[in-house]
């Protein structure tokens, strides 16, 4: 059992924040793991994380500390998950993708392109692997529907569970390789499969990256109509995530029941949160006093998540078992799956 890794990232003040607040920020750094946060009422809270990425931190530092160990594990058939959490504008997508997923300075490249490079780099270094495949599915969860970002006609993908592969998105387009909006959760799923020379055993690791929708409270956004409905749905799924975390850390008073089924997000993350996965969470915050209450709730969420324990393991499939269950095409054999 290992704890999930939780870090905070405090982005630089935006020009608007600088105009409104000058150099005034709501946190004071103590060291690389700890800072003091001042809330709206000037009350001090001390927060400690596995690491704090302050405003000058580089994308490479975030990748190397939080995600590279997960990439290495995924190549060794241990599932991994990386999640960005925080209010809209806090720096989640910047961390995940960089300022632009299509083109940006090498130094500013986000986690997602670094993961692609890292997976290929590490898998090539394994001598005993004869064949491998790396597949990517990209979906978004919008209004409790899972939509395929490679094929928008697939707008209500089913989530299934397989004994062999854990949580699966049935029929989501996989590419050998946006629509990403702050009103939806973006989920990138890499599946890494390998066949060994000699005994031809197979093993598979799954690496899931999740850029969550903004965590700001629906009623505070001043939204109406459809936008308010979206915000409520986001709050509902993020509350479900919070409830799963509470239940896993003994805070729910509901015995051993973990309410993964309360939202699509928690179903997809069932493997990742408290299950068979090494998980890392990046809590993104604005440093501005005007965002203090949302930043405080993000940091508290991270504080609770630090107590989750997970038990990642190597996903070895015996050759004959893998063949029988068509590990490369899991949806062909429904017998080992059940719809959640």
- Which amino acids are annotated as binding site for ATP, given as ranges? 86-93
Give the binding-site size for ligand ADP (rule: CB under 6 A).
15
Q: Does 179 bind ligand ADP (CB under 6 A)?
A: no
> Looking at 8-16, 23-31, 121-129, 318-326, which segment touches ligand ADP (CB under 6 A)?
8-16
Q: Does 16 bind ligand ADP (CB under 6 A)?
A: no
Q: How far is the CB of 193 from Mg ion (least distance, A)?
A: 30
Q: How far is the CB of 300 from ligand ADP (least distance, A)?
A: 17
**Quick one: what does residue 80 bind among Mg ion, ligand ADP, none, with the CB cut-off 5 to 8 Å set by partner type?**
none
**Quick one: what does residue 90 bind among Mg ion, ligand ADP, none, with the CB cut-off 5 to 8 Å set by partner type?**
ligand ADP
Q: How far is the CB of 210 from Mg ion (least distance, A)?
A: 12
Q: Does 105 bind ligand ADP (CB under 6 A)?
A: no
Q: Does 98 bind ligand ADP (CB under 6 A)?
A: no
Q: State the Cα–Cα distance between residues 236 and 212, nearest whole angstrom.
A: 13
- Among positions 17, 52, 86, 123, the unique one binding ligand ADP when judged by CB under 6 A: 86
Q: What is the 3-state secondary structure (H, E, C) of the chain?
A: CEECEEEEEECCCCHHHHHHHCCCCCEEECCCCEEEEECCCCCEEEEECCEEECCCCCHHHHHHHHHHHHHHHHHCCECEEEEEECCCCCCHHHHHHCCCCCCCCHHHCCHHHHHHHHHHHHHHCCCCEEEEEEEEEEEEEECCEEEECCCCCCCCCEEEEECCCEEEEECCCCECCCCCCCCCEEEEEEEEEEEECCCCCEEEEEEEEEECCCCCCHHHHCCCHHHHHHHHHHHHHHHHHHHHHHHHCCCCCCCCCCCHHHCHHHHHCCCCCCCCCEEEEEEEECCCHHHHHHHHHHHHHHHHHCCCEECCCECEECHHHHHHCCCCCHHHCHHHEEEC
Q: Does 295 bind ligand ADP (CB under 6 A)?
A: no
Q: Does 91 bind ligand ADP (CB under 6 A)?
A: yes
Residues 122-151 binding ligand ADP (CB under 6 A) are none
Q: Does 63 bind ligand ADP (CB under 6 A)?
A: no
The closest of 203, 232, 184 to 314, measured between CA atoms, is 203
Q: Which residue is nearest to ligand ADP (CB)?
A: 91
**Quick one: what does residue 276 bind among ligand ADP, Mg ion, none, with the CB cut-off 5 to 8 Å set by partner type?**
none
Q: How far is the CB of 70 from ligand ADP (least distance, A)?
A: 20
Q: Does 11 bind ligand ADP (CB under 6 A)?
A: yes
Which positions touch Mg ion (CB under 5 A)? 92-93, 182
Q: State the Cα–Cα distance between residues 317 and 164, nearest whole angstrom.
A: 8
Q: Which amino acids are annotated as binding site, given as ranges?
A: 86-93
Residues 265-284 binding ligand ADP (CB under 6 A) are 284
Q: Does 88 bind ligand ADP (CB under 6 A)?
A: yes
List of residues contacting ligand ADP (CB under 6 A) = 11-12, 14, 86, 88-94, 99, 182, 214, 284
């Amino acid at each position: 059992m290992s704890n999930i890794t939780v870090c905070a990232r405090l982005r630089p003040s935006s020009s608007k924040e600088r105009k409104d607040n000058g150099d005034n920020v709501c946190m004071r750094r103590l060291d690389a793991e700890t800072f003091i946060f001042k809330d709206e009422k000037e009350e001090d809270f001390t927060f400690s994380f596995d690491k704090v990425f302050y405003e000058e931190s580089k994308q490479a530092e975030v990748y190397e500390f939080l995600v590279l160990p997960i990439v290495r594990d995924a190549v060794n058939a241990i599932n991994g998950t990386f999640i960005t959490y925080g209010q809209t504008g806090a720096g989640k997508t910047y961390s995940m993708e960089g300022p632009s997923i299509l083109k940006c300075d090498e130094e500013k490249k986000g986690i997602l392109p670094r993961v692609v490079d890292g997976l290929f780099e590490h898998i090539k270094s394994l001598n005993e692997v004869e064949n491998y495949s790396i597949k990517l599915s990209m979906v978004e969860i919008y209004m409790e529907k899972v939509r395929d970002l490679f094929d928008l006609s697939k707008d209500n993908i089913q989530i299934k569970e397989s004994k062999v592969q854990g949580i699966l998105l049935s029929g989501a387009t996989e590419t050998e390789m946006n629509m990403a909006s702050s009103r939806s959760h973006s989920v990138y799923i890499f599946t890494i499969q390998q066949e060994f020379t000699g005994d031809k055993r197979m093993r598979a690791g799954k690496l899931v990256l999740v850029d969550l929708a903004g965590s700001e409270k629906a009623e505070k956004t001043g939204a109406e109509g459809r936008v308010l409905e979206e915000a409520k749905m986001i709050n509902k799924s993020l509350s479900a995530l919070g409830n799963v975390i509470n239940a896993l850390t003994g805070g729910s008073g509901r015995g051993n029941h973990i309410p993964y089924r309360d939202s699509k997000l928690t179903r997809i993350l069932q493997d990742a949160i408290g299950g068979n996965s090494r998980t890392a969470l990046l809590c993104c915050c604005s440093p501005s006093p005007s965002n203090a209450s949302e930043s405080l709730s993000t940091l508290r969420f991270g504080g609770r998540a630090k107590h989750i324990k997970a038990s990642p393991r190597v996903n070895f499939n015996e050759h004959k078992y893998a063949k029988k269950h068509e590990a490369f095409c899991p949806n062909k054999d429904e017998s080992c799956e059940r719809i959640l």
